[in-house]
Amino acid sequence: MNHNYSFSAFSKQSSKGILVIYGDILIKILKQTWVLFLLFLSKISEISEGQSFYIYLGVLVVFMFSLVRAYLSYINFKFKIENNHFVLKKGIIRKTNTSIAFDRIQNINFKQNLIQQFINVYGVSIETAGSNKTEIVIKALSHSKALALKELISTTDTSSEVPIEKEKPLLNIKIKELLKVSLTENHFRSLLLLLALIIGFFQQIEPILESLGGKEFLDEYLNQSTEAILGSIILLVVLILFLMFVSVCSSFVRIFLRHFNLVLFVKKDAFEIYQGLLTKKSIVLKIQKVQSITVSSNPFKRWVGISYVIFKQALSGKVKNKKDKLIKIIGCEHNQVNLIKNHLFDIRELDSSQKQFTDSYYKLRMLFQSFLILVSINIVIFSIFDILYILFINLLLIPFSFFLVHKKNKKTFYKISNNLILVGKGLIETHHTYFQLFKVQNVKMKQTIFQQRKDVVDLILQTASGKIKIPCISTKNGTDIYNHILFNVENSKQPWM
Report how far residue 417's alpha carbon sits from residue 436's, in angstroms, rounded to the nearest whole number: 10
- pLDDT value, residue 162: 36
Which residues of the chain have a pLDDT value below 70? Answer: 1-4, 35, 38-46, 130-133, 154-167, 186-237, 315-325, 386-390, 495-497
Bridge partners of 275? 281
Which one-letter amino acid corresponds to residue 179? L
- pLDDT value, residue 105: 83
What crossing angle do the helices spanning 215-230 and 233-259 adopt, rounded to 10°?
Answer: 110
- pLDDT value, residue 222: 53
Q: Which long-range contacts (CB under 8 A, 24 or more apart) does 159-167 make?
A: 159/1, 159/2, 161/267, 164/265, 164/272, 167/265
Q: Residues 6 or more apart from 383 whose CB is under 8 A from it? A: none
- pLDDT value, residue 190: 66
Q: Residues 6 or more apart from 77 whose CB is under 8 A from it? A: 12, 13, 17, 88, 89, 90, 138
Q: Which long-range contacts (CB under 8 A, 24 or more apart) does 459-465 make?
A: 461/421, 461/435, 461/485, 463/291, 463/292, 463/435, 463/439, 464/129, 464/291, 464/313, 464/314, 464/315, 464/439, 464/496, 464/497, 465/291, 465/292, 465/312, 465/313, 465/314, 465/315
Taking only the tens place, the pLDDT of each residue in 108-138 is 888 888 888 888 888 988 888 766 667 788 9
Report how far residue 479's alpha carbon sits from residue 54's, in angstroms, rounded to the nearest whole number: 75
* Torsion (CA) 456, 462, 463, 464 in degrees, nearest 10: 160
Report how far residue 281's alpha carbon sits from residue 329's, in angstroms, rounded to the nearest whole number: 13
Report how far residue 324's alpha carbon sits from residue 433's, in angstroms, rounded to the nearest whole number: 18
CB contact at 8 A, 262 and 276 = no
Which one-letter amino acid corresponds to residue 89? K
CB contact at 8 A, 484 and 471 = no
The dihedrals phi and psi of 456, each to the nearest 5 degrees, come to -130, 160
CA–CA–CA angle 254, 110, 169 (5° rounding) = 80
As a whole number of Å, the end-to-end CA separation of the chain is 26
**pTM for this model (two decimals):** 0.80
Taking only the tens place, the pLDDT of each residue in 165-196 is 446 788 898 888 888 888 887 666 666 666 66
Concatenating the DSSP letter of every residue in 214-277 gives -HHHHHHHHHHHHHHHHT-HHHHHHHHHHHHHHHHHHHHHHHHHHHTTEEEEE-SSEEEEEE-S
Report how far residue 199's alpha carbon sits from residue 165's, in angstroms, rounded to the nearest whole number: 45
Residues in the chain: 497
- pLDDT value, residue 41: 66
Which one-letter amino acid corresponds to residue 147? L
CB contact at 8 A, 81 and 151 = no
Reduced to 3 states (helix: H, G, I; strand: E, B; else coil), residue 145 is helix
Beta strands in 83-207 (DSSP E): 85-90, 96-101, 105-112, 122-128, 136-141, 171-173
Reduced to 3 states (helix: H, G, I; strand: E, B; else coil), residue 296 is strand
Report how far residue 112's alpha carbon sits from residue 105's, in angstroms, rounded to the nearest whole number: 21
Report how far residue 492's alpha carbon sits from residue 485's, in angstroms, rounded to the nearest whole number: 10
- pLDDT value, residue 64: 93
CB contact at 8 A, 423 and 402 = no
- pLDDT value, residue 230: 53
Q: Residues 6 or more apart from 368 whose CB is under 8 A from it? A: none
Report how far residue 195's alpha carbon sits from residue 319's, in angstroms, rounded to the nearest whole number: 28
Strand order of the sheet with strand 105-112?
Answer: 136-141, 122-128, 105-112, 280-286, 270-275, 262-266, 171-173
- pLDDT value, residue 369: 92
- pLDDT value, residue 161: 38
Find the DSSP H helices in 440-497: 449-454, 475-491
- pLDDT value, residue 164: 46
Closest CA to 27 of 92, 114, 110, 119: 114
Indicate the DSSP class of residue 419: S
Phi-psi region of 112 (alpha: psi -120 to 50; beta: other; left: phi over 0): beta
Q: Residues 6 or more apart from 411 whose CB is under 8 A from it? A: 424, 425, 426, 427, 430
